[in-house]
Amino acid sequence: MSSWWPGVAVALPLVGVAAVSFGRLTERWRIAALVVPAVAALAVALLIVGDVLAGRTPELFVLRMTPTLWLVLRVDAPGALYGATVAALGLLALVYSFGYVQRGPRWSRYFAFLMASFTCTMGVAYAGNLLTFLIFYEAFSVLTYALVVHEQTPEAIRAGAKYIAYILVGGSLVLAGILLTYFLAGDLTFVAGGFLAADAARGQLLAAFWCFVVGFGVKAALVPLHGWVPDAHPAAPAPFSAVLSGVMVAAGAFGIMRVALDVYGAPLVRALGVAPWLTVIASVTVLLGALLAIGQDDLKRRLAYSTISQMGYLTLAVSLLGSGVMAGALVHLVHHAFLKGTLFFCAGLWIHSSGVRRVRDLRGMGARMPLTAAAFTLAALGMIGVPPLSGFVSKWWLGVGMLQVDAAIGLAVLLAGALLAAAYLLPVVYAAYFAPAGPIAGHAGREAPATMLAPTLVAAALTIVFGLGSHYGGFPLQLAQAAVAAWFGGG
Amino acid sequence: MTGPWAEALPWAIVLPLVGAALTPAVAVRHPRVSGFWAWGVLLVTAVLTAGLVSELVARGPFSYGLGGWAASYGIELRFDHFSAWVLPLVVLFVVIVPFSWRYLDHVMPDERRPPFYALLLLNAGGMIGFCVTGDLFNLFVFTEVVSLSSYALVAVGGRGLAAFAALKYLFIGAVSSLLMLFATAQLFVLSGSLNMADVSLRLGEIGGGTAVMVAFAAYAVSFMVKAAMFPVHVWLPDAHAIAPSPVSAVLSGMVVKVGIVGMLRIYQIYFGAEVLELGAFNLALVWLGAISIVMGAFFAIFQDDIKLMLAYSTISNIGYIVLGLGLASPYAVIGAAVHVFNHALIKATLFLAAGSIIHQTGFRTLSDLRGVARTMPQTSAAMAIGAVSIVGLPPTAGFVCKWYIALGAFEANQAPFGFALVFGALFIFIYYIRMLNAFYFQPPVHASVAQASETPWSMRGPVVLLASLCLILGVLGGIPLTFVEPAVLDLLPFWGQ
């Protein structure tokens, strides 16, 4: 069904880019020009979710890039789900940023690049073929560089260099994979169930598959390609760390999903025999990420390692090629975005109002900043998977799905990951509430202004809402099941 | 069957050449008028070439016999799909000339402007002639017109180093021209004709033979030197870096392409005659192209001078084109031919943006130019767009070519070169990242950088226009293909032999 809405959703944030880059507006109008399009983009994204749930597939042929290839947006169930997540977390991070980012010459730059990468991430979600996917994927990867180095400290510049090196190598591998795919199939349009012919040269199919997995794996932070993650997150401003962890790392996992299920298709992936290798890589990622998180003293670095671990679940699910486990993975993608968003928002609040970056300095924060600490605790429990919070729902479906495909090892990894999550998140909560308060300098320890606190609390509240309401219509699970039905046929 | 525009074909060459001759006379009272005069002449030429291209689209390739003499006796001008390259070429000139009006203030005294613009028009006329001539001797003559005006344009900046760079360029260029003259004479002796179509026909009758191959080799080497491919690139970096920026844009973007277009012309002759085994030659091109990419990027990384860096990047990009030609599969050759134009556009963007920055701040090295993006945001943004285009990130003009050439590598069953190309681009990004880092994310070290103002609109307009074209041609990459595809597909059956 042809529809303008996907194009509108992708283009709306550009209004904000234009307003802060070119307009000579007062600050009040600039903020309005940023917030209004972001709210509108969220509204459109939700509208599209409704459309997709009604069984339609909105698509928009934007441009003919070459005689055979179109820039095309086509929203299927996973795309709608991811797009709505991007729009919602993007809006929260935007509002939060007004309080967090200091006024000055860099202010405009930050918001221009934030909104531009917002546009491109929406484009990734709604891309209808691999070329469109690549265009938006590369664009946001590069635009994000400006946000990673935003603070312009030597650490930030170093982290930025590491980030861009990893990401560009990954992007090039993805490009190589896409070239091979186009060479093999003569087409790049996503088709649920895959479009690559099973009788194509096995060597080339394998080469393209590993190009994709390694290329997207860099962004998805698969071990051993995760090197940029723990450096980029602490260096970046907190609201951007939230977006980076919540939806941008997920873009890599989303790419792997697209490739495995919309380009190759489950039967071909099985026939190629690559799934077990992917399972091993993903399991190592989940466990190693979580183990490394335990030892980190820098809170944001600890959370970054947690992202590596949690995003490993998505790749693990793809590798198991089961319908139930994929539904769980899609739900987890959404739930994780808001959980991790909350955690980074809280970390940012502590940095902003008391300059505290290290876990051991959080002593006494539970009393000084009760709302922040409560939000952090809630999200931490959600991340561990305590019922009835959102993290429990996604892990439940992941676990049930794993049993459906007899993946006992997957289940063990899942449970071990949850246990380790408790080991790296609960000490933070303990430090905030129960450790004896140490001496804290100066004015430290007042709740942050409402512009920052409100998005944090909304994200935390979503943890409960998604946990309790998961079975109602319009919640992620319904979309995930629609996606899985298309991928695996009626599952 | 020819339409009204076919009759105008010789004027496309005559106009700029006559305009060049008249420039000193027009500007005798007010030297600055020469700039507007040159622009006017180029504007009219642009309209004319647009007409020629519309004729080509409507009715296909057409010829014009000078003085009414039929082809193969008289001098023939021929406008085919490769000739369509004159339109973007003239349009780029039309964009670059307004930039030079204000830019030249700091480069040369007013009284040297008329010769400067005369040389620029001569250069444009020479390139147009080169693209539309159907005659081997005129091919040589127009090559010389382009080369000689280029030597002078390098020197026109006036300082000691400029003369030295121009001299180096001249010596190497002269050897290349001699080789070309030798090859032309050889073919004339062998075939008794100078008309390209005629030569091709008669070569077919003669068959192969050492002498025919020697002529091919001489042409090939001569055009490689003009294109600045890796082992014979040594003249390029200094010449392009020292010339005034508008000239650098012309030289790096367009004049080096004379070598590539010339190569395609020679292919047309030899393929028509079916006397050529290209296997080994293609292999050599592929390797030389790949080495050019890597070496160009390698040298660029160590440059601190932004214009020198851009000059080395031209060597890399010529490497892409040559690699594409050598792969000899449809996609690869189409990609190479499109890159002839897209690289011209991107390199013009980069050189003009770099020129603006040098003009406003007085500095030209990365370490001096730190933080310039704060005071010159639009020019720096154009530079950034040019940088991501030349690296070939989607959706920019550079991506289209990279896509086609890499796809062509798979098609030609040479996958390693496809990967080399994709990752070679990364290598190139290293030095552009350094540049963007310095411009955007480092504090200024010089007061003149911290207090620089944006350029006047006559300079900023062209830069912004070119940068937006880099993006537009990325998303509408199909447009140049409509011209390139038929031409390439005509040639291809003979290519991969």
pLDDT > 80? residue B4: no
**What 3 state SS string does chain B have?**
CCCHHHHHHHHHHHHHHHHHHHHHHHCCCCCCHHHHHHHHHHHHHHHHHHHHHHHHHHHCCEEEEHHHCCECCECEEEECCHHHHHHHHHHHHHHHHHHHHHHHHHCCCHHHHHHHHHHHHHHHHHHHHHHHECEHHHHHHHHHHHHHHHHHHHHCCCCHHHHHHHHHHHHHHHHHHHHHHHHHHHHHHHHCCCEHHHHHHHHHHHCCCHHHHHHHHHHHHHHHHHHCCHHHCCCHHHHHHHCCHHHHHHHHHHHCHHHHHHHHHHHHHHHHHCCCCCHHHHHHHHHHHHHHHHHHHHHHHCCCEHHHHHHHHHHHHHHHHHHHHHHCCHHHHHHHHHHHHHHHHHHHHHHHHHHHHHHHHCCCECCCCCCHHHHCHHHHHHHHHHHHHHHCCCCCHHHHHHHHHHHHHHHCCCHHHHHHHHHHHHHHHHHHHHHHHHHHHCCCCCHHHHCCCCCCHHHHHHHHHHHHHHHHHHHCCHHHHHHHHHHHHHHHHHCCC
Residue A23: the pLDDT is 67
Tokens of B274: 């079916």
Mean pLDDT value across chain B: 87
Residue B302: the pLDDT is 85
User: Average pLDDT, stretch B154-177?
Assistant: 85
Nearest CA in chain A to B425: A172
Cβ–Cβ below 8 Å for A172 and B481: no
Angle at A92 between CA A235 and CA A397, to 5 degrees: 95
Chain A residue numbers touching B418 (CB-CB < 8 A): 176, 179
Cβ–Cβ below 8 Å for A175 and B423: no
B72 versus B121: which is more confidently predicted?
B121
Cβ–Cβ below 8 Å for B419 and A135: no
Residue B420: the pLDDT is 83
Nearest CA in chain B to A104: B374
Rounded CA-CA distance B147/B13 in Å is: 16
- CA quadruple B384, B387, B392, B393: dihedral, nearest 10: -30
Cβ–Cβ below 8 Å for B441 and A160: yes
Chain A residue numbers touching B374 (CB-CB < 8 A): 105
Percent of chain B with pLDDT over 70: 97
Output B293-296 pairs: Cβ under 8 A, ≥24 positions apart: B293/B319, B293/B320, B293/B323, B293/B420, B293/B421, B293/B424, B293/B427, B293/B428, B294/B319, B294/B424, B294/B427, B295/B230, B296/B230, B296/B233, B296/B428
Distance, in angstroms, between A67 CA and closest chain B CA? 6
Q: How confident is the model at residue A491 (pLDDT cuts 50, 70, 90)?
A: very low
pLDDT 10s digits, B465-475: 999 999 888 88
Of B419, B433, B437, the CB nearest to A176: B419
Cis ω for the linkage preceding B480 (within 30 of 0):
no
pLDDT 10s digits, B315-359: 999 999 999 988 888 888 888 988 998 999 999 999 999 999 998
Chain B residue numbers touching A157 (CB-CB < 8 A): 437, 441
pLDDT > 90? residue B364: no
Cβ–Cβ below 8 Å for B395 and A135: yes
Distance, in angstroms, between A103 CA and closest chain B CA? 15
Of A131, A142, A169, the CB nearest to B393: A142
Q: How many CB pairs under 8 A join A and B?
A: 73
Tokens of B483: 């011209």
Angle at B303 between CA B302 and CA B308, to 5 degrees: 145
Distance, in angstroms, between B246 CA and closest chain A CA? 27
Q: Which of A10, A24, A62, A66 to mutate to test the interface with B (most CBs of B within 10 A)?
A: A66
Residue A18: the pLDDT is 86
Distance, in angstroms, between B136 CA and closest chain A CA? 35
Percent of chain A with pLDDT over 70: 98
Cβ(B387)–Cβ(B436) below 8 Å: yes
pLDDT 10s digits, B437-486: 888 888 888 888 888 888 888 889 999 999 999 988 888 877 777 777 77
pLDDT 10s digits, A281-307: 999 999 999 999 998 889 999 999 999
User: Average pLDDT, stretch B395-400?
Assistant: 86
Residue A490: the pLDDT is 55
Rounded CA-CA distance B404/B332 in Å is: 6
Chain B residue numbers touching A135 (CB-CB < 8 A): 394-395
Chain A residue numbers touching B481 (CB-CB < 8 A): 66-67
pLDDT 10s digits, A54-81: 888 888 888 877 777 888 899 999 999 9
Cβ–Cβ below 8 Å for A66 and B433: no
Q: Which of B327, B433, B439, B472 to mutate to test the interface with A (most CBs of A within 10 A)?
A: B433
Kindly state the greatest CA–CA separation across chain B: 71
Residue B71: the pLDDT is 65
Nearest CA in chain B to A62: B475
Chain A residue numbers touching B444 (CB-CB < 8 A): none
Tokens of B31: 């030297």
User: Average pLDDT, stretch A92-100?
Assistant: 92
Beta bridge partners of A47: none
Q: How confident is the model at residue A317 (pLDDT cuts 50, 70, 90)?
A: very high
Residue A445: the pLDDT is 62
Distance, in angstroms, between A468 CA and closest chain B CA? 42
Count how many Cα atoms sit within 13 Å of the Cα of residue A250 in the half-sphere of its side chain: 32
Length of chain B: 497
Identity of the highest mean pLDDT range in A239-248, B100-109, B476-485: A239-248
Beta bridge partners of B365: B305
Cβ–Cβ below 8 Å for B410 and A179: yes
Rounded CA-CA distance B96/B469 in Å is: 14
Mean pLDDT value across chain A: 89
Beta bridge partners of B313: none
pLDDT > 90? residue A357: no
pLDDT 10s digits, B208-262: 778 888 999 999 999 999 998 888 888 888 888 888 899 999 999 899 999 999 9
Torsion sign, CA atoms B116, B122, B126, B129: positive
Of B393, B422, B478, the CB nearest to A67: B478
pLDDT 10s digits, A118-167: 999 999 999 999 999 999 999 989 899 999 998 888 889 889 989 998 99
pLDDT > 80? residue A82: yes
pLDDT 10s digits, B28-45: 888 889 999 999 999 999
Between the alpha carbon of residue A422 and those of residues A275, A304, A395, A416, B143, the distances in Å are 29, 15, 14, 10, 74
Chain B residue numbers touching A171 (CB-CB < 8 A): 393
Chain A residue numbers touching B473 (CB-CB < 8 A): none
Chain B residue numbers touching A212 (CB-CB < 8 A): none
Question: How many domains is chain A partitioned into structurally?
Answer: 1
Kindly state the greatest CA–CA separation across chain A: 69
Cβ–Cβ below 8 Å for A183 and B475: no
Rounded CA-CA distance B68/B75 in Å is: 9
Chain B residue numbers touching A183 (CB-CB < 8 A): 407, 410-411
Task: Give me the domain span that covers residue A209.
Answer: 5-488
pLDDT > 50? residue A229: yes
Distance, in angstroms, between B244 CA and closest chain A CA? 31
Distance, in angstroms, between A135 CA and closest chain B CA? 5
Residues of B with CB under 8 A from a CB of A: 374, 388, 393-395, 400, 403-404, 406-407, 410-411, 415, 418-419, 422-423, 425-426, 429, 433, 437, 440-443, 475-478, 481
Cβ–Cβ below 8 Å for A65 and B478: yes
Cβ–Cβ below 8 Å for B477 and A65: yes
Q: Which of B403, B439, B479, B482 to mutate to test the interface with A (most CBs of A within 10 A)?
A: B403
Residue B497: the pLDDT is 40
pLDDT > 50? residue A432: yes
pLDDT 10s digits, A9-59: 999 999 888 888 876 778 888 888 899 999 999 999 999 999 898 888 888
Q: Which of B410, B434, B454, B481 to mutate to test the interface with A (most CBs of A within 10 A)?
A: B410
* pTM greater than the 0.95 cutoff: no
Nearest CA in chain B to A68: B478
Distance, in angstroms, between A110 CA and closest chain B CA? 12
Cβ(A178)–Cβ(A131) below 8 Å: yes
pLDDT 10s digits, B277-292: 777 888 888 999 999 8
Tokens of B248: 């650098």
The one-character DSSP state at A258 is I
Q: Which of B339, B342, B419, B426 to mutate to test the interface with A (most CBs of A within 10 A)?
A: B419
